[in-house]
Structure 1
Amino acid sequence: MTGNSHDDCQVLLLGGVSGTGKTTVAAEIGRQFGIPWFQVDDLRLALQCSKVSLPEKTEALYFFADIDEKPRIWQQPPDVLRDALIATGDVLSPALEAIIENHLDQRHPIVIEGDGIMPSLLARPAIQRRAHDRRLRAVFLVESDEQALFSHMLVRSRGPSWMDESELRTEAHVKWLFGQWLVDEANRYSLPVLEPRPWETLIHRIMTTCTGMARSTQTPPIVEQPR
């Protein structure tokens, strides 16, 4: 993944549910190949916190903003919360499109990870015009076991302190619903989906899934459970 040859991958998108190892994997791939990696969360937070003026119909970006001030948010119906995650990704897609275009045009390799990456992003016309030679690849990480998502949330100790177990379980269920939606969407656009477990082989499975990215040397395993 150096971007030196015509058919080498220059932009790798790692989408999927929160808590499936995207950040850990992106950092490790960046380290191995000596290229930068970028969190979509940074883009989302920059837009939310800076209060910049955005076009109409982008209110979904703020659904999960300032979550500490919304103690009842996880008491809403799970399908509403899942749709809010999807809507957030849709709002971020034009900005991600611009970032991807720039890196493909400038031939500057990068790994971009985040649950705000929607499979439909790769169907946007400007992306398709630049992705015909496979310089752009995407993989989606989806955990099919809802209990595993919940257990991982407890290990990570993520979430506001006011969330009780029922709300944490609702969040885990929402992530599971979002994951199932991602699987359907990825299949719709013929994009690969991987289970994050076993953690130890995740990087290698991603690299071999993205044909042409795997190194001749064996990829070192992840020795810790991803963030």
Structure 2
Amino acid sequence: MVANLHLIVPNIVSRILLVEDDQEIAVMVVEMLSDNGFQAIAAGSATDMDALLRKQSFDLIVLDAMLPGEDGFSICRRLRATSVTPIIMLTALSDDIDRIVGIEIGADDYITKPFNSRELLARIKGLLRRSSYSAEPRSQQSPMQFAGWLIDPALRQLLNPDGVHVSMTTAEFDVLLAFCRNPGRIMTREQLLGLTHAGTAGPVERSIDVHVSRVRQKIEPSVHEPTMIKTVRLGGYMFTPRVKDC
């Protein structure tokens, strides 16, 4: 069991919650994040994590897959049901299927142990940057409409034709936003990856496919016969609706 590690740094912008039962890794990651201007807290189990989440909110969660009691995959699924907080999963499992499962249940990124601390830091900064509207120029933040839906890049919100907010992960929102900014254009998986950095820890084709599948589940009238996000054989995907600025 890892004791909660709480290093407070003045003028902190982002708070990171690390859920990791390995004491050595937890200390290393918390110190690395603290040294780079973040407020970092570590919890060694789902129980410890839940206690912290009841007390405060976090800007990003780094979640180990292999934990005592409730594992990271179950935790990720549970968190994603009620929260859009960006999640990076850590695992010692190198099998591609485990990476894809993590993405399917709502993780935004994935990194395999042993990992380079600088790579983890870059992933965290990148994901926080993508989840913040301030990273884009104002000209790129105008709300857009398609097929009765409204996507707002500044507020990072998606509203369905009835005006109801639809919850999306950071990666899912980025994928849909890339489509909305390139309607009627064939987008290769590599292009989508370059525009969104979605699933950078896994194979390009499979990680993008998973995110596209999750977006389809949220916007398509029929997931089995998608009309808005068309698959282009040997090409990638095409977003078919007419998109207009609001």
| TM-score between the two structures when normalised by the length of structure 2 | 0.34
| TM-score between the two structures when normalised by the length of structure 1 | 0.36
Q: Which has the higher helix share?
A: 1
Q: Which structure exhibits the higher relative contact order, with contacts defined as CA atoms closer than 8 Å and separated by 6 or more residues?
A: 1
